[in-house]
Amino acid sequence: MTSIATEAPSLAEIRPARRALRVRLGRRALPYLLLAPSILLLAGFTYLPIFRVIWDSLHEQIHGSRENHFVGLANYVGLFSDTAFGQAVGNNLVYAAATVPFSMGLALLFALALQRSTRFNAVLRALLLFPSMVPLVAAASLFFFIFLPGVGLFDYYLAKIGLHGANWLGDPDIALWSLIGITVWKNAGYYMLFYLAGLQTMPGEVLEAATIDGANGWQRLRYIIIPLLAPTTAFVLVIALINALIQVDHVIVLTKGGPSNATKLVLYYIFEQATQNFAAGKAAAASVLSVAFLLALSVISLKTMERGAHAAS
């Protein structure tokens, strides 16, 4: 008994050990406590809505009640058999294929032309950035008066040079391209900011060495500037793809998907199904497919640009 009592730790030894344990646990728990508000907000306003949309896509609301019954993949099957959804997807692909490269190309040209920090360039940057600060609803309302057939501002100046304007928003062959023009006008200046930031961080000695070696402007752009801007291009590409999917205000204000569904984009189709046709399950299924496609395309774009940047370096 005497030997056991002498080997047992005393209170003086236990208390410092317990205190050190509490300090270590407190230090480990502190980051999680600081992140807890952000995690709760993300869970409540991001992840929970995602799961709710997925859940809604697998259910259908019973007419005249708030009850839902499980339908499995019936909403997804219904989408692929819906000609309006197929036309909306086709319109969105054309819309993205036109707005993304044109906006990014103009943004890069603007950034290259205005990369030097002068007062005149600062004024031009502000003018090019101004459209991105105008809400899309306001921009659409402005272009509604510009595109008015016969009396609009666009047709007025076309008449000055002897040309006859078209029905920019009423012709099924032209209406979508009118929306594309509005989008390019609005987004090019915004993307220019990212390219300006990328050009500012570019090592100047590389361009100087290429100039000394006899590289002309096109060769410097193709073999040095564009490869070094690959991470910036990947970032801008993802933003442009997201904008091509989520921007729908101008469709609602100007055309409401017409004429003859020529300007019906996927997001407007989702809006139409949810608010006008009261098909919440089909709208949720279209949302899930759109986000999944956009996520896959964004991952592929980032991986491709990342490999290109490593190869260039």
pLDDT in tens, 206-255: 777 877 877 787 888 888 888 888 888 888 988 998 899 888 899 999 99
Spell out the domains of the chain, with CATH numbers in brackets. Answer: 11-57 (no CATH), 74-312 (1.10.3720.10)
∠ CA 141-146-149 to the nearest 5 degrees?
115
CA distance 22 to 30: 12
Query: Of 116-120, 181-185, 290-294, 308-312, which range is least confident?
Result: 308-312
Residue type at position 132? S
What is the pTM for the complete model shown?
Answer: 0.82
For residue 14, the model assigns a pLDDT of 65
Average pLDDT, stretch 93-122? 93
**For 233-243, what is each residue's pLDDT tens digit?**
888 988 998 89
4: pLDDT strictly greater than 50: no
CA distance 247 to 243: 5
Average pLDDT, stretch 13-18? 66
H/E run at residue 69:
strand 68-70
The structure tokens 């395309």 sit at 297
Q: What are phi and psi of 69, to 5 degrees?
A: -125, 145
Q: Are strands 59-61 and 68-70 parallel, antiparallel or unpaired?
A: antiparallel
For residue 306, the model assigns a pLDDT of 67
Query: Could you tell me the pLDDT band of residue 88, with boundaries at 50, 70 and 90?
Result: very high
For residue 3, the model assigns a pLDDT of 47
Query: Of 67-71, 198-202, 273-277, which range is least confident?
Result: 67-71
Q: For 116-204, where are the E strands, in sequence order?
A: none
CA distance 103 to 240: 8
Average pLDDT, stretch 298-303? 77
Q: Locate 50 and state its tokens.
A: 């995602």
- Taking residue 181's Cβ as centre, other Cβ atoms within 10 Å add up to 18
Query: Of 3-7, 160-164, 229-233, which range is least confident?
Result: 3-7
Q: Locate 281 and state its tokens.
A: 């399950």
CA distance 140 to 253: 6
Q: Locate 280 and state its tokens.
A: 């919440």
Is 243 in a helix, a strand, or coil?
helix
Query: Could you tell me the pLDDT band of residue 308, with boundaries at 50, 70 and 90?
Result: low
Average pLDDT, stretch 160-165? 85
Q: Which residues contact 141 (CB under 8 A, 6 or more apart)?
A: 253
DSSP state of 134: S
Residue type at position 266? V
For residue 110, the model assigns a pLDDT of 94
